[in-house]
Amino acid sequence: MHDVLVIGGGIVGQVTAIKLAETGARVVIVDAAQNSGSTANAGSLHVQMQSRFMRLYPDQVRNIEASLPFYVAAVQEWGLLDQKYGSFELVRKGGLMLAEDEGQMAFLEKKMEREARHGVSVELLDRSALDRIAPWLGPQIIGAELCRDEGKLNPLAANKRLRAAAETLGIEHRTDQILRLESLPDSVEAIGLQGRYRADRMVVAAAWGAGALTHDLGVTIPSRAEPLHMNITEACETQINHLVQHAERSITLKQFATGQIVIGGGWAARDRGRYEIPAVDHASILGNVALAAQLVPSISGIRVIRTWAGMNTTADGASIIGPLPGHARVVMAVPGDAGYTLGPLVAGLAVDCVQGSGLAAEALSFSPARFAA
């Protein structure tokens, strides 16, 4: 029997397992290897409230806003991991949310005031200030919000290095689809298609699949899969240092060290069920890259060399961390919006719970107890 069973092998599961194994715990990760958001992620490190999320989920904005200090801390946590495990191509030169008219500038100004109250480093820039740091922007851009806390990384490099660290620590990896969980008096058990896995403690880091797993334990968690798509281009000469978003339109745009540009930001893919990778929607590809070319005209002639889809996770806008009500041996570890950004920080908080420290006072609102009947 293992000390800890981690369900889900994405960024949260990997970092949770690594942190536990570094203390001497015997850890096994069981992952279905299906539709992991971490393996489809585009590498944005978000901090400021995303306009897309605010439009689509207005009822969840309050939770996102309250979580802003954790986004700042999460990017700092990524910096520590980058130093410890090798380069993730991490760059923290800030993020720009662009505006094309005065209405959008007014939206950014109000949003910025809310963010600043929570310790986010933000500033409103006019076009002349933008020209000094982002001369590649299209002429229609009149200003932007600069969030100095934001950044970007290469998720392929990060995932590879963290997996290598886990293997060095002797963490077991099993591929299986977990069907249900059982909470026993002296242990916990997960039953999968390929076998049964028992441990003293369990961490559920299954993102959008977490709700289905906890349902039989009497707690309904509203985790949902949101199929989205991304594109990556060939290398280009334009030098884009910032994470780029828009005040009103769905997009993220960033450049890797290779010179390639990753374009995404919430354009829908076509859901084909939990056992199939989402299908890329042609209309989303065209709309996404056309918008990128409008915002950065110098990239309009480069080629998209790959497009892919993956699952994002939504719940209620806040992370879900801590012991499951009525099942102290089962610890939840599900990030809120921008799950890859929050992943390592959520993992650290979950490890504290596994080790008996519990949640820090400022994180108590993340407890899954809020979903208990």
Q: Is the pLDDT of residue 38 over 90?
A: no
Cα→Cα distances 282→52, 271, 296, Å: 20, 14, 21
Nearest one of 259, 333, 15, 325 to 158, comparing CA atoms: 15
Tokens 């990997």 found at = 14
Report, as an integer, the average pLDDT of 216-235: 93
Quick one: three-class SS letters along 241-289?
CCEEEECCCCCEEEECCCCCEEEECCCECECCCCCCCCECCHHHHHHHH
pTM as predicted: 0.95
Nearest one of 311, 268, 271 to 287, comparing CA atoms: 268
Q: How far apart are CA 11 and CA 57, in angstroms?
A: 24
Q: Is the pLDDT of residue 43 over 70?
A: yes
Q: What is the pLDDT of residue 341?
A: 97
Report, as an integer, the average pLDDT of 17-22: 98
Domain architecture of the chain: domains with CATH: 2-39+156-223+316-371 (3.50.50.60), 91-151+224-314 (3.30.9.10)
Q: What is the pLDDT of residue 35?
A: 73
Q: What is the pLDDT of residue 40?
A: 82
Q: How far apart are CA 208 and CA 314, in angstroms?
A: 7
Quick one: three-class SS letters along 60-91?
HHHHHHHCHHHHHHHHHHHHHHHHHHCCCCCE
When the pLDDT of each residue in the chain is averaged and rounded to a whole number, the result is 95
Contact 5, 198 (CB under 8 A): yes
pLDDT tens-digit readout, 243-276: 999 999 999 999 999 999 999 998 999 988 877 8
pLDDT tens-digit readout, 108-165: 999 999 999 999 999 999 999 999 999 999 999 999 999 999 999 999 999 999 999 9
pLDDT tens-digit readout, 318-363: 999 999 999 999 999 999 989 999 999 999 999 999 999 988 888 9
